[in-house]
Amino acid sequence: MFLNEKRNINLNGAILLFFYFFCAVFATIQLNPIGTTQSSNAVPCNTRPSSDNGANALVEQMRDRPPNAYCVQIESCTKLITQKPTFQKYETRPFSVGGFNWTFILEPFGNKTSYGDWISAYVAIDPLGLVGETREVYAALSFLVYSKTLDQYWTSMDTEVRRFHQFRTTWGNPTFVQHGDFQSPNREYIFNNDQCVFGVDINVYPYFNKWEVLSTDKTVHEPNSWKLMRFSTLDKDFYTSDEFSVGGKRWALKVYPNGNGTGEGNSLSLYVILSGNTNLKPYEKVYVQAKLRVLDQKQSKHLEKPILSWFDTPGDGSGFEQFVSLSGLRNPARGFVVDDALSVQVQFESLSSTNFYSSNDAQSMSTF
Ligand SMILES: *[C@@H]1O[C@H](CO)[C@@H](O)[C@H](O)[C@H]1NC(C)=O
Ligand SMILES: *[C@@H]1O[C@H](CO)[C@@H](O)[C@H](O)[C@H]1NC(C)=O
Ligand SMILES: *[C@@H]1O[C@H](CO)[C@@H](O)[C@H](O)[C@H]1NC(C)=O
């Protein structure tokens, strides 16, 4: 009972000290030239007015989940860890995480502050793996030490994802855990005949190796026109123009002389169609901004309607079921049907194209 209370007090005290300390330390490390613009509601550093730059690089907590990358159990822990002079640096054998080789490093007297001595914990990446496409690696790190009394791990989690490269192969926490915790009477982290257990989480964030570039060509293209002769004699549901090529894709115009859908029997329907034979890449979508027109062959007062559409399936169309009413089409004041010919048109104003890349493709990599 008494022991439990004492332990809790110690632990809370330790957590407070940790926060207090890291807020101070990281405030100075992450010298932030525009830090004054940061608000002071950052947690947990807002308890310290002098370190309100929000640089909370560490979250510290107890957790159940064991380390995901490596674990070191040390016997005769007291001697090795807490009695000076001991070994200055313990580095594990290499282990593999995320396709890279790493080591876990413990420095029993790695750092000293006014609170006393600290055990430092680091990971080092094998720089032999840092070449070519993987010349830099991003990883999130947590360092853990097992508490027998709580059956949990004291965890110091770095909230910054760290960047490892040829010139920076080691990251870690110089003030991971305080010696005081190892020497306290209830021996928080030393158990079963002088054992202790340290561990590390390494979460590697893979660098993307595939990407796509969507570009939009804002060239206003020459209009593509199509003249339907002997219009009054056309008796099929629809007519499709010859194909034409714009923006690297094949297109056609499609006319329903007697209307389609809601236009049936009352309007002319007009569409632009992405040709069924076009060379759309898998997963490619084409953004199109265009004008559809029925030409006024007398006064050039063309009837024009804009379309704004994504095409992702060859054969798809975009247009209007009711482009112009059948009576409006035959209005003698306009020149839509002249000498029994109808003229329709599409003018592309903007078209997208997508290029897909992967880093296996050395050439595209070099142009990226
Ligand atoms: C202790 O750690 C702090 C950062 O946490 C660092 O600035 C300082 O140089 C370290 N001291 C030693 C002796 O390693
Ligand atoms: C990891 O280490 C093994 C064994 O030494 C080696 O064969 C492998 O190439 C290394 N991999 C990387 C990415 O460094
Ligand atoms: C014609 O109308 C039908 C039914 O409304 C529709 O499914 C079809 O897509 C229309 N034709 C075109 C070319 O849009």
In a domain? residue 362? no
The CATH number assigned to the domain holding 109 equals 2.60.210.10
Ligand 2 within 6 A of 314 CB?
Answer: no
In a shared domain, residues 283 and 171? no
In a shared domain, residues 224 and 312? yes
| Ordered alpha helix ranges (H), the chain | 2-29, 77, 179-183, 326-329, 362-367
305-314: long-range contacts, CB 8 A cutoff, minimum separation 24: 307/272, 310/285, 310/286, 311/274, 311/280, 311/285, 311/286, 312/280, 312/284, 312/285, 312/286, 313/274, 313/280, 314/274, 314/275, 314/276, 314/277, 314/278, 314/280
- Alpha carbon distance 316, 276 (integer Å): 8
In a shared domain, residues 63 and 199? yes
Task: Check: CB of residue 159 under 8 Å from CB of residue 58.
Answer: yes
CA distances for 205 relative to 31, 68, 171, angstroms: 26, 14, 15
pLDDT for the residue 116? 87
In a shared domain, residues 162 and 175? yes
In a domain? residue 366? no
pLDDT for the residue 86? 57
> Considering only CA atoms, which residue is closest to atom 14 of ligand 3?
317
> Considering only CA atoms, which residue is closest to atom 14 of ligand 1?
111
The closest ligand to the CA of 31 turns out to be: 1
In a domain? residue 33? yes
Residue span of the structural domain in which 185 resides: 57-207
In a shared domain, residues 177 and 269? no
In a domain? residue 82? yes
The closest ligand to the CA of 256 turns out to be: 3
In a shared domain, residues 20 and 38? yes
In a shared domain, residues 255 and 195? no
In a domain? residue 195? yes
In a domain? residue 249? yes
In a shared domain, residues 157 and 220? no
Ligand 3 within 6 A of 258 CB?
Answer: no
pLDDT for the residue 343? 97
Ligand 1 within 6 A of 115 CB?
Answer: no
Three-class SS of 110-127 = EEEECCEEEEEEEEEECH
Look at residues 121, 86, 127 and name the one whose alpha carbon lies nearest to residue 105.
121
pLDDT for the residue 94? 98
In a domain? residue 299? yes
pLDDT for the residue 361? 60
Helix %, strand %, coil % of the chain (to 5): 20, 45, 35
Go through 49-78 and write b for each residue having 16 or more CB atoms within 10 A of its CB, e for each that does not: eebbbbbbbbebeeeeeebebbbeebeebe
In a domain? residue 153? yes
pLDDT for the residue 7? 38
Q: Distance, CA 340 to ligand 1 centroid (Å)?
A: 90
pLDDT for the residue 186? 60
Pocket test for ligand 3, best of 236, 255, 260 (most atoms within 8 A of CB): 260
In a shared domain, residues 256 and 222? yes
Contacts of 113 (CB under 8 A, 6+ apart): 21, 175
Q: Distance, CA 21 to ligand 1 centroid (Å)?
A: 12
In a shared domain, residues 123 and 202? yes
Number of domains in the chain: 3
In a shared domain, residues 83 and 187? yes
Pocket test for ligand 2, best of 93, 97, 100, 101 (most atoms within 8 A of CB): 101
**Helices (H) then strands (E): counts for the chain:** 5, 22
Ligand 2 within 6 A of 129 CB?
Answer: yes
Dihedral angle sign, alpha carbons of residues 354, 357, 361, 367: positive
- The vertex-99 CA angle with 95 and 105, nearest 5°, equals 35
Which ligand 1 atom minimizes the distance to the CA of 173? 5
* Structure token digits, residue 215: 């570009």
> Considering only CA atoms, which residue is closest to atom 3 of ligand 1?
174
Ligand 1 within 6 A of 21 CB?
Answer: no
359: exposed, middle or buried (Cβ count in 10 Å: 0-12, 13-18, 19+): middle
> Considering only CA atoms, which residue is closest to atom 6 of ligand 1?
174
Task: Check: CB of residue 334 under 8 Å from CB of residue 299.
Answer: yes
- Boundary residue ending a domain (174, 207, 240): 207
Q: Distance, CA 358 to ligand 2 centroid (Å)?
A: 24
- pLDDT digit string (tens) for the chain, length 368 residues: 333 333 333 433 333 333 343 333 333 333 333 333 333 333 222 233 333 333 457 888 899 999 999 999 999 888 777 676 656 889 999 999 999 999 999 998 899 999 888 999 999 999 999 988 778 999 999 999 998 888 999 999 998 999 999 999 999 999 999 888 776 666 578 888 889 999 999 999 977 788 999 999 888 899 999 999 999 999 999 999 999 999 999 999 999 999 999 999 999 999 999 998 888 888 999 999 999 999 999 998 999 999 999 999 999 999 999 999 999 999 888 999 999 999 999 999 999 999 999 876 644 443 33
- Boundary residue ending a domain (36, 56, 76): 56
In a shared domain, residues 310 and 197? no
- Boundary residue ending a domain (207, 231, 254): 207
The closest ligand to the CA of 122 turns out to be: 1
